[in-house]
Structure formats: structure tokens, C-alpha cells
Chain A
């Protein structure tokens, strides 16, 4: 394909460019763009790279804090954890590719986020994954679950990072559009952070990693006959991950960074070479000139267009100090990676691309990159719903049977089937992997210090009330980190929504961001990185708004971290926070009674903060033996999970002031269940009172079953069987491709 292709309106549309955007292109270019240029614009100005629909709102998020060294805008956020160490983390989606090809889509999603982290100079130490699938009985769901989990596992396991937590949810709104949000965190030295901003004119731009093929080049453009006279076979647009190559790339990059040769570095993610080169130049206020003849290619006859848009994985671009080039080459060779000098920085603020001596593109770099278009899309706030009173929701006939049904359901059952396919232990620092409120990982090389990680969001709340839902996502994540005893430091977000061109969807986005911002501010939990994924729709139906929040906490003494399991019989069980029995939008209402109604619980951020601080202090003072936050399913579900985890039962007296269904399954926020030695209970309750934190003892742990005063005992064995049983039973059927 030569550069002489005629630019037609169809072609422009196929590149996802709107007429007004094309008008702007004509103005910026000063002429009709070449096909290569059109491809470059489409890549840079699409939602994924430019954040054109969300930028305005993202700017409202709190991103600063005492410990924040690098906030949003780089490959990942950087947060100070003391002793000269920093934690580097981010979350990113790979939704669409994972639906098309679950194994490869999920794998390359994990590969991409790991690359974001080590591009900054950090060694990845933990991975998490937030997964949303369609209804379990939808014909494609099982195949997608099976493939996504395999993909997530295969990449992280081979690369050598422990996968220590995540979420799995099912909802029909994801039937045609699963969500795969991958989180990764790494460890670096505060003085060893690398950024993407190019510095210095005339310096070599070096390509490192796997060779470039025709992977992932836009489906729409590839299908177009003008571009593809090779008619034998429609080329798949799926990228294949090569975790082995990525592991080599990691080691090579970290070794190279130590030599002092790296001036700027940027991984090639979405829109590969285009995006990485433009970002490096634009951020550094420099021009970039690329000679594509030097790019290591896997396939023959690749055109400039294809090379600029290829999404081949496991590749990096860097600006190197020319005086250290020989040293750098020795590292590349040791790790057997392809490398080449493919261009240089210039002072003309132009992005120029050459192929076979011909100039294929010559564009203004700032307008492509950090000055890309931005929209203020119309939005309609989500209408208020009618609240539901607790006593208007029927009580279960048999509370024990209902609990067993709930805990054995697709929503609340154990995800062991998933995480047993993930290496949770590698690197030897995992104190608590999946199965608790947050993962607990020791800071490598440090005797006591630990980091905690969690990802959370409750989409059914977000759809009912985006602002409260946004707040709740942050609060739950913060609470999960707190429940292990850690101090939440900062967060990353992954905003998954439908089509932003629809005002109601835009209203969800705006509302959720508002709630997230408010909660982050109130809880001192700044957003330091993130990712937006829009147009998650099938047949015109958007997914539930799903703004996933990933959080990181710090434990000064990892030996004091808490887990959720009951530790021994005879201990006091205390609930922190008020139980009012809020059942609107609850799991009980939706999944047991089949009613998708009501308003979500309100999030009282001051109460969250106070209750969290009280629990954290108690943990750090060594007063508690177990802690668990109360979320989906309410108090009784949380108690059951603590009992199952410890294989110890309890005697509980429900609070008679609240209808039983509300007491058991209400989802009031800002609550924790804690256990402690019985003789310490009174002093603890007195301290809570003094601190203005609602706390009440609801019973004690006991050998045997889970007993609620006034109901038949609920068998611990049955609970365990139901809880562990759902996933393996569901996945036992064969995995069919189509």
C-alpha cells in the first residue's frame, strides 16, 4: 500500500474520525493528509489515547498528596513508601480484545499493564484483576471465563509476578462485552524513576523488544479492500502475548536503566510506535523523526501505515544517551532482544516518518499528542430512584437456607477456582493472597514493611446512583485495605462505561467521577493513575457503569496484618458501624427476590474515615484477632465468610431493633466485623464509644455451626460446601469455542 491512497469520506469514517475532526486535521496539516497520516491521527485521537470525552472530568479528580511523586499522565503513578522506596501502580482494561479472543486478549492485557510498571523503572511485585462476565447461563459466558482466567494466569505466571487479588462478577449487561481490568504494582527506588518525556535534540531513539508484525491493526481498516489486496486470508487482528519475551524485556530494561543510558522510555501499547513516539516528543516539547526502514520486522513488506499502527506486544521505545550506546547494546544482546536506532529527536516540533527514503508523514507533534481534541459531551444526570423501606422487603422464610443459597450463588461464592490458576506466591513475599479483604505483600528486601492491594466497585449501585456508587467504590476499596490494618495511600481507577455520545451514559460517567473525587478527597486517597474504557456496548445496550478502583495501602509492620478468618472459639464478635438494614440495591433484594430496585446505601465519608481509623489503630495496637469489612450480602454473609475461612462457627444475637432481613442482609456502609478475646471486649467497646464510633457485640465465636438466636443452626459444612461448590460445578462443563 503506498501513501497515494485517496482519502474518501468512507475511509475517514472507517478510521473513527468525525467530520469536524477531519476538518481540524485539514487545518493542522495544511493539506489533505496521506493515508499514513490519517492512520496516525486516528490512533492518537481515538478515545483510548486522547481521553477526549473524559479529560474534562478526569481533571476534577484529586491527584496530589504528600506521598505522591508522580500522578496521572505517566505510564503509572508513583507513591512514596519511605526508606527511599516507591510503589508504582496502575490499572488498565483489555475488554474488547478479551471478548474476541479471551485467552490472548486477557494475556496481553496483563502484559500491557506490567510493561507500564516496569517502563517506569519498577520491578513488578503484584498483579490483580477485576473481571466482569455475562450471566452464567448465557451461552458464551463459560468460554469467556475459562479463557480470560487462563490468559491472565498464563501471562503473570510465566512473567513471574504473583497475582494476589481481584474481583469476579456476573451480570447480563456484560453478555456481549466482558470487562478485563488488570492492575499491577511494582517497586522502585525514589531516585530510580524513569519518565517518557524526551530530552535533548538530536539524540537517538532506540527500539527494543520483539519484532513488529501486523498484529492488532484496526479491524475496520484492514477489512477495507484498498489496503488488503492479499485476499487469501483475512488477517486476524488479535495480538498474541509472549510473556517470555516480556520477562527478557523486563530484565533488560532494569539492567539498562542502571547503566544510566536511558534518558526517556515509553512502552509501545495501544497504537504502538505512533503513540509512544508522539508522546515522548510532545511531552518533551521536541520533534521526532523516525526511519521505518530500521524497525525490526517480523513480516515482509510492511508499509509505513502498518508499522505505525501495529500493536505487536513486548516492545519499548527509548531515548538513549549516545555516549552509553555500546553499554546499552551489550545489555540488549545478553537478553537476546531485537534493537535498532529508529530515529532521533529534533527541535522542530514535527512528527516525521520516513520509509524507503520517502516522507510518509509530517505532522505537528503537540496537536497530535498532549493538545489533542477534547469534548464537553452533553450529559443527563441519572434520575433519582424511589427508596425502598426495609420493612417493605419480605423476610426470608428460612434464613439459614437463604444464606446457603446466597453464599453458594454465582455472585457471592468463592473465586478459588479462578485464583488457583494464578501463581500467588512467586517472589516469596506474599503474606496474604486472594481470599482476604486485601492482599498483603512484603516490601522486598525489607523485614517488616508491607503493601496491601485491593480492587473494588459495585456496578449495581453505580447504575442506580452514579455519585453514591462512585463514592462507594472508593470507600469499599479503602475499607478493604484498612481491614488488613494498612493505611490506604493512593488509588488508580479504571472507568468502564458505555457510549459517551449518549447523554445518559455520559451522565453516569460524570456522576461516578464526581463521587470518586469526593470520596478520594475525604479519605486522603488520591488517584495517581488510571484508564478509561468507553463504548462498552452490545446491540445498543451499555454495560453497567463500572468504575473499578484499585488501591494500595502501607503496613509499617506486616506481622500485625489481619485476616478475615475466625481464629478460635469463645472470642467476642463486634460490629463497627451502624446497622440500619438498608436493602435498596442489595444482593438480597436483587438475587434472592429478583427485584432490581431502590437506592444504594449512602456513603457517609466522615463515618468511613472515623471507623476505619478506629479499626486500623486497634489492629496496630494488637487488640484484634480477625477483621472483615461488610459489603455485598451484608452482615450475615460477612460472618459466614469469616466462619468458613476459619472453620469455626459462632453464636449470634441479631439486633431486634432492625427487621431480621435488614439486619442480616442490609448493605449499610462503613462497617467492619472484628473479633477479639472475650475479656477484652468491654474495654474495646468503651474505647469505641469514647471515639464516637458505633460498635456493638453481636455474639461470640464457637466450635461448630453458625447459630442465630431464634433460628435453626446453620451447618458450617453446608455453608462451606455451597461457598466452594458453585464455581467448580459451573466450570465443569466443556469449554466450547463457538
Chain B
């Protein structure tokens, strides 16, 4: 805030000391008002009448005087104070001049009535706010329980099952026992019977030594599990055929290929 005494500007000295005291008594600090409506409400209280009977015209004049003084004191005024000043000046002219029938819009009286309503409403809110804060308050005037007990949230889970669940569960185990091995093993297991069937059909055409591995069926030498299973089955089947006297079997060396050939007929036929 600028102090007029130290102002180099000549116009500030125009204010007499008493003027200044009067102005400061009114103004003190613009920051103390929460906006123009607050200021207007404060000013209206000086009329010491019921807000409903307040003279808006007088109030407008007081406000404009306040703004003028504040300007003289070079107080920083927020824009909304100036907007309100302009609006009140307009309202004042409306209230003072006879209504212009050509002009649209609300009359000065309507505008004044609304301003009076706003002031009354704000005053009422201040009043009830004070009443509210004046009430007995929790933790100040009355108190809640000091020792509280937490409510334990116990989640109780009950399990249930129906007779059908039970039956199905049981049937599931039993069926699993009976059929599961077949279902499980069919994919990658070749049985000796399968190999035997296969070899019986093929052996008639093998007059000379042939690698056992060539008897493996198509698609059974692709992955190791299937290869192992089919090799074992085929080997077992070939031993069975040797036992039956249908073929001969030989292996040249350790880990050398196993070879089989059709055994010459005792009759001498090949």
C-alpha cells in the first residue's frame, strides 16, 4: 500500500489528515472483504435497518464512494470490485432516471430487489453458519466412545456338495480306473500285437536280410517316444516270430543294426 506522505505525486497531499483517518476507518484493508458482495453487506449493516428495507440507492452510493477512496489511496482493487462499481453506477442511473419504455431488460427496481435478495441471503447464510458452529460439537462438547472394539469380519466358508456330485465323483474315479490306460497310451505306444500283425503281413516278402528299422510303420519314427515304443514292439514281435520259426534274426556287432529275414522253408522253398 502506498503512503500518501511519501508520494512524490502532488495530488495525494490534497487529502487532509482527517480525510485520511475517515477513509482508513472505513476501508482499513480491502483484503478483509471477501469480494464486493461481502463489502456491500458490511456497508448495508451501517444503515442499521432490516435488510429488506435497505436503500439500495444509498448502498450504491456508499460503495462507489468506497471505491473512489480506495483508488485515491492507490489500494490494489480486484477487478470484480470495479465491475461491481460499474454495475452499481448503472443501477443508480436506472433507479434515478424515469424508465425508458423503448428499452428492454429488467427495470432498476428489479435489479435492486435482486441485489437486496442476494444480500439478505448472504446475511442469512452467515447467520446460520454462526449458529451451526455454535452448536455442541463432537469431540469438543460431546464425545464418542473412547475404547472401541473392532468388529472382526469373520468370513465363514461352508462347503457343500450334492448327492449327484458325490455319485459323479465316484463314477469318475471308477471309470478312470477301467479305461484311462487305453486312452492315455494309445497315442504313443505300439503294442507287440500290433507289431506282430504288421510283421506277419510283411515278412513273406523279405527273402534277404533286412534292417529291423525298416519294418517300423510310417509316422512311428518321427518322435523319440513313438520310435522307442515301435522299435521295442517290433523287436519283441520279431523275437516272437523267431520263436515260431518264421524268421531268422542277427546282429553283426554291438549296437549294429538288427536284421531279419524269412527263414527258409524246411521244405527247401524260399
Partners in one complex: no
The interface of chain B, by Cβ under 8 A from chain A, is none
